[in-house]
Amino acid sequence: MDKDAILTDIVQNGGKENFGLLVNKYKDQLYSFIYYSVKDEDAAGDILQDSFLKAFEHLSEYKYREEGKFKAWLFTIARNKITDHFRSVSKIVQLDEEDVFPSKDNTASAALGNISLKEINDFILRLPREQGEVILLRQYLSFKEIAAVLGCPLGTVLARMSRGLKKLHQFMGEDYAL
Amino acid sequence: MHSENNRENKSENKETFAEGRRREDCAQDHNQNHSQTFEQKALLYAYGELPAEEEKNFLLHLNGCKICQRVLFVSSAARASLSEVKAPAVCLDKILLRSAQIDAAKDAAAQKRPFAAWLRWAFKGGAGADLRPAPAVRLTSFAAVLAAAMLIFAGVFFYKGGYGGTKGIYAVSVSQQDFLNSMYNNLDSIETEVEGLETYISQFQ
């Protein structure tokens, strides 16, 4: 039984104060994921709080059935909240290839090595959602856990990751640093 | 001079050609045999999830494979660019406060509704009390509903044929009934035999 499982057990059996330990453990990771997904500090803070609150409610109402997968479950809640957020503000914009890839000038400058981590970061945020999401999630979860969060097979997760990285590389320039 | 340039160009071309072939071979290797497998292995390796027993083979492959090298390079760049962002000093107090509010609301609701709605309607006061009919009317109608329910139950009970038999509420199936009947018949015949024996024995006493 891992530490999370013990803590969730305690919270479910009335030790509500111990939920704070889980919050402190995961808040930065979860916030980073949410922040990079919604690109808005205020909204990210709200979603973070809502996610923890929902997790807490589920735990106190004995609706939590994911023993040993608390982290993945928490990220699933956050992901659903992010989807709700996009729905509510109608921000879902399907970027087509021309939007995703920068102009040839940028590609050229990237190939010359003038690319910064900030630019790479920006580009990840502009990838199609399902690809960018996998790259983001892999910062905090294993591929198996991501498959559980997204509800798809491991192969699909790896394929999305691979496609995302390919696009990222196209942005950086084909021969960049190889 | 001119010939030297030509030679250099040729050697460059050879190298480019060899590099091209290598890439082509590698790409073919990827496309035809294990393209997805190797890319997936590269991803797993980049994030430390490739099983140890597969690592050696993958590293041998990686040495000559630009595609897998690219996967490793780009994934490390992506990782480096996504540094962790500190969460604002949220939320724990708010969460605990909210949970306390939820608990309080639940307790209040439980205290407010000690009876089911129809019992409250029949016997107790509460919201909408002024709209309800007089207590006598309410009790009469409650008794009427209760009597109707009992009549329906009794009707079903007697229609089903009481407790036992093949139709009653504790009914047995036809085959079970046959079996029981044959058992009763056997018992009867055994009793008759026992009585006969008793008569026979009594003659000698």
- CB contacts of A135 in chain B (<8 Å) are 78, 82
Range of the domain at A160: 97-172
A119-138: average pLDDT: 87
pLDDT digits over A70-128, tens only?
889 999 999 999 999 988 876 445 444 444 444 334 443 443 356 777 788 888 888 88
Q: Nearest CA of chain B to the CA of A22: how many Å?
A: 10
Question: Which pTM does this prediction carry?
Answer: 0.58
Quick check: A175 contacting B, CB < 8 Å? no
In a domain, B50, yes or no: yes
Quick check: B86 contacting A, CB < 8 Å? yes
pLDDT band at B169 (very low <50, low <70, confident <90, very high): low
pLDDT of residue B13: 53
**What CATH number should be reported for the domain holding residue A73?**
1.10.1740.10
pLDDT of residue B148: 93
Split into its structural domains, chain B has a count of 1
Q: Nearest CA of chain B to the CA of A93: how many Å?
A: 22
Q: Give the residue from chain A lying closest to B106, CA to CA.
A: A61
- Co-location of A143 and A123 in the same domain: yes
pLDDT at A144 over 50: yes
CB of A135 closer than 8 Å to CB of B78 = yes
Residues 22-61 of A with CB under 8 A from B: 23-24, 27-32, 35-36, 41, 45, 48-49, 52-53, 56-57, 60
- Co-location of A42 and A101 in the same domain: no
The ipTM value here is 0.73
In a domain, B168, yes or no: no
User: Rounded CA gap, A74 and A29, in Å?
Assistant: 11
- CB contacts of A178 in chain B (<8 Å) are 66, 69-70, 73
pLDDT band at A63 (very low <50, low <70, confident <90, very high): confident
In the listed set A57, A89, A121, which residue is the last one of a domain according to the structure?
A89
